[in-house]
Amino acid sequence: MAGTLVAQLLRRKPIVFQHHPHQGEELPRNLTTFQLMMFGVGATVGTGIFFVLGEAVPKAGPAVLISFMIAGFAAGLSALCYAELASAIPVSGSTYSYAYHALGEIVAVIIAGCVLLEYGVATGAVAVGWSGYFNELLHETIGWQLPDALSVSPIPGTDHVPTGGIINLPAVVLVLLCMLLLIRGASESAKINAIMVMIKLTVLALFSVIGFSAFNADHFSNFFAKGFTGVSAAAGTIFFSFIGLDAVATAGEEVKDPQKALPRAIIGALSIVSGIYLAVAGAGLAAKPASFFADKDNADAGLALILKEITGNEVWSTILAAGAVISIFSVTLVTLYGQTRILFAVGRDGLISKKFLEVNQRTMTPTFNTVVVSIVIALIGGFVPADYLWDTVSIGTLMAFSVVAIGIMVLRRTHPELERPFKVPGYPVTPILTVAACLYIMYGLAAITWVIFLIWIVLCIAFYWLYGMRNATLNHYTDPEEIAEPSGRRRDLEDERG
């Protein structure tokens, strides 16, 4: 009995490709390194930088700049490790699917839990941040804004001060709007994505230029006031803003020479993103003392408020708020989409209800899945304050990346024969360094974050124990076709050879 249990917990999903490949259906995308790099920049910038300063600066003081570098360093290393795992397991999907194929069922369940935090909670957090900018935009354009009761969560933040809120209505409405779009089958085209990236970069550049014009060196005195504990705690929060860099890793098979192109694209994207973040954080600190960020009243729409105070003019802050409102909307759409697709993959493996697999015949979207996910995320966005959300997202992501880094080391030993179009440079130092960096940042996160995270993972495992274990597709499939992957680039190559 115990033997079979362990066997089930450790069993790996075999890699089988569908028997009847429909030739010519795959969309070939031959990306250049530069395009891939820009893809990474576009996917990363915007998730956190618009809101994270108000959360991170109070923790680290001016040394928040160091925190940005640490978080960026960890994110870059993680992305490299992730890229190797993605290239070794040529199936569709995300970290969860790769883990199921490479590391076994129970690890996949834990990763699924982490990734649900990464995308689900991130969507909630981004929606809350959007709400702040939306309200600021309302205030500056029509002179009226939603009262606190309708724009702030009722649960007190980490400072335990009553909020006077009932529900964060804009966040709820935003998530539900994105749900409608996704149900209708909306997708963001390359062109729209490029426009969104331009909007984000433009408003951030605007902020930096104006911020530095109000440079005050005194704001950087007492640089390490909060010590290294503060720096690592802030790095944990900030890590959230680097989520999306892993998108580059999943696109690795779409470049001609992944071994060369991937690290260049990842490091290039990371440098650009870090550069932008440092400029924004530097400009913020140059313009306002660290104490400004600690004030709760300045937490919402922080960047816009700083612009308003520097220039004494509402034009710039209105432009920034408008840019944020438009581009964060697209970030919410994309992360919500990612979340539904991850659950779809989990449902395909039978670890959650097959209802999550039902695709609407007209719109070709998993409707039930999208509605359930959106409602849960809307509740998170509407009722949980952002303080808790960001750190939770970070811990989930960091844990997933640590497992990935350990996973590639395990795979190198257990399956040295696997074809790996991309191998992590500097093995084994890079994966070990990745684990160390992730653990260091996680160590700095608050105890409450750890408690939330562990409870969540225990819940995931309990759910697996009660449901997934019995209903896993691997338990009862008779035909390999049932678990076959619908696509895979390498399969196409084999077809061509064959």
Partner 1 sequence: MTYLVCYSPHKDDIGAIDLACQFARSEHDTVHALTVVPRGWETAVAGDTDRDFEQWAAQEGAASAAEALEVLARHTDVVSTATWVAGRSVPQAVCEQVDALGASLIVVGSGENGPRGYVTVTSKTDRMLHSAAVPVAIAPRGYRPVPDSRITRVTMGFRDDDASWTLLDLVASICARIGASLRLVTFAVRPRRMVVSAMRDDESDIFAQWKSQAQAGLDEAVTHLRDQGLVDVEAVLAQGRSWGGAMDSVEWGREDVLVVGSSSTHKLAQVFLGSSAAKILRNSTVPVIVVP
Distance (Å, whole) CA 158 – CA 312: 31
* From 71-79, 90-98, 123-131, 280-288, span contacting partner 1 (CB under 8 A): 90-98
User: If binding is defined by CB under 8 A, does position 341 make contact with partner 1?
Assistant: yes
User: If binding is defined by CB under 8 A, does position 471 make contact with partner 1?
Assistant: no
Shortest Cβ distance from residue 114 to partner 1 (Å)? 13
Residue type, 25: E
End-to-end Cα distance, the chain: 43
Phi-psi region of 414 (alpha: psi -120 to 50; beta: other; left: phi over 0): alpha
User: If binding is defined by CB under 8 A, does position 43 make contact with partner 1?
Assistant: yes
Distance (Å, whole) CA 248 – CA 42: 10
- Closest listed residue to residue 351, CA positions, set 6, 106, 122, 117: 106
90, two tokens? 């040529």
Q: What is the CA radius of gyration of the chain?
A: 22
User: If binding is defined by CB under 8 A, does position 488 make contact with partner 1?
Assistant: yes
**Contact pick of 181, 345, 408, 435 for partner 1 (by CB under 8 A):** 345
**Contact pick of 94, 241, 392, 434 for partner 1 (by CB under 8 A):** 94
Neighbours of 164 (CB within 10 A): 10
Shortest Cβ distance from residue 305 to partner 1 (Å)? 29
Residue 179 · residue 136 · CB < 8 Å: no
* Closer residue to partner 1, CB minimum distance, 59 or 341: 341
**Contact pick of 93, 129, 165, 263 for partner 1 (by CB under 8 A):** 93
User: If binding is defined by CB under 8 A, does position 32 make contact with partner 1?
Assistant: no
Neighbours of 498 (CB within 10 A): 5
Shortest Cβ distance from residue 312 to partner 1 (Å)? 37
Shortest Cβ distance from residue 333 to partner 1 (Å)? 8
> CB under 8 Å to 302, separation ≥6 — which residues?
50, 51, 53, 54, 132, 284, 293
**Contact pick of 155, 180, 209, 359 for partner 1 (by CB under 8 A):** 359
Shortest Cβ distance from residue 251 to partner 1 (Å)? 7
User: If binding is defined by CB under 8 A, does position 365 make contact with partner 1?
Assistant: yes
User: If binding is defined by CB under 8 A, does position 28 make contact with partner 1?
Assistant: no
- Closest listed residue to residue 187, CA positions, set 368, 341, 11: 341
User: If binding is defined by CB under 8 A, does position 358 make contact with partner 1?
Assistant: yes
Contact string 253-282 vs partner 1 (x = CB under 8 A): x-----------------------------
- Stretch (H or E) spanning 285: helix 258-287
Positions in the binding site for partner 1 (CB under 8 A): 18, 22, 24-27, 39, 42-43, 86, 91-94, 119, 185, 187-190, 192-193, 244, 246-247, 250-251, 253, 334, 337-338, 341-342, 344-345, 348, 357-359, 361-362, 364-366, 486-488
